[in-house]
Structure 1
Amino acid sequence: MKKVDPFVIVIGFDGSKQSHEALAWGVEEARYRSAELRVLTVWNKAPMAWYPAMLETAAGEIVAEDSPEQQAEALSAEAAKSAVGVNVVTRTIKNDSAASAILEAAREADLVIVGSRGHGGFAGLHIGSVSAQVASHSPCPVLVIRPKTF
């Protein structure tokens, strides 16, 4: 008897409101299909080397700002907590392009889910550059989640 691989859903997650909506949709879809959910958080170094900034809190405490990698790890942990009851795999990936990292993961996926807009880009665009690139070049179906308007 041939083993059937699980349905694989890849989600691009950057912590934005729309990526949270994409994650929620993906969790429900994974439950419905008994699918494996692969949540990707992509980070890159700033154009210049990252130096920790010191921030002063409202209480007057001095704290170090997290590095881009630490921020991505925190987002991955947040995503995993949201996917209760689902087979979830989180990955943080260092890459200059979120779209290329998602497209690479899409090669082993049955469905990709992204928010229509993330943290980057210009307000007023209806679809972000990452979601447009992924939708245009993915080898599998792509679901682009738009914000709820009701």
Structure 2
Amino acid sequence: MSNGAHHKIVVGVDGSESSRNALRWALQQAALTGAVVHAVCAWEFPAFYSWEGGPLPPDDFEESARRSLDDAVDEVERETGPPAPIERHLTHGHAAQALLDAAADADLLVVGSRGHGSFYGALLGSVSQRCAVHAQCPVVIVRR
């Protein structure tokens, strides 16, 4: 664990059941260690989006991600009660890079084994795989 007064666990949340399982696991670990959970949700414009006439206004992508983050955290808190403090973070960018950046000073990074991947994501490699290879802290991949 870090030398700071507050331990930090970063968890990737994309609204998928896998990410909800990762959040549940992270909260249990935080309750045991006294850590604060940082739930991170990243969003980007789809590869097919064009500024000249995409299917949704740009703000809708961010708002959809915010709802996904809030819904997942709210659901898990209702199930378990808040066993540890949770901070919510919404960021624009690729999910793996957003998690790696958020976990730069973390004690632990937690991700689900399968999220809302896409063909684009498959080309770049999975978020969990990229995090496991590049994170500067231990990584837990929560399987079903």
TM range (shorter): 0.7 to 0.9
Match of 2:56 in 1: 52
Percentage identity across aligned positions?
34
Match of 1:69 in 2: 62
Instruction: List runs of 5+ in structure 1 lacking aligned partners.
Output: 54-65
Instruction: Give the deviation of 1:121 after TM superposition.
Output: 4.2
Supply the distance in 2 between the matched residues of 1:16 and 1:86 (Cα, whole angstroms).
21
Going by fraction, where is helix more abundant, 1 or 2?
A: 2
TM-score, with structure 1 as normaliser: 0.77
Instruction: List runs of 5+ in structure 2 lacking aligned partners.
Output: none
Show the 5 A alignment for 1:4-23: 4-23=4-23
Give me the CA root mean square deviation: 2.2
Match of 2:27 in 1: 27
Supply the distance in 1 between the matched residues of 2:31 and 2:68 (Cα, whole angstroms).
21
Match of 1:134 in 2: 131
Q: Is the 8 A contact 1:121 1:129 kept in 2?
A: no
TM-score, with structure 2 as normaliser: 0.80
Match of 1:90 in 2: 88
Structure 1 residues 92 and 4, CA gap change in structure 2 (3 angstroms): closer
Match of 1:78 in 2: 71
Correspondence for 1:103 among 100, 104, 110? 100
Structure with more relative contact order (C-alpha pairs < 8 Å, separation 6 or more)? 2
| 1:48-93 Cα distance to aligned partner (Å, 9 max, x none) | 234339xxxxxxxxxxxx8221111112222432242421110110
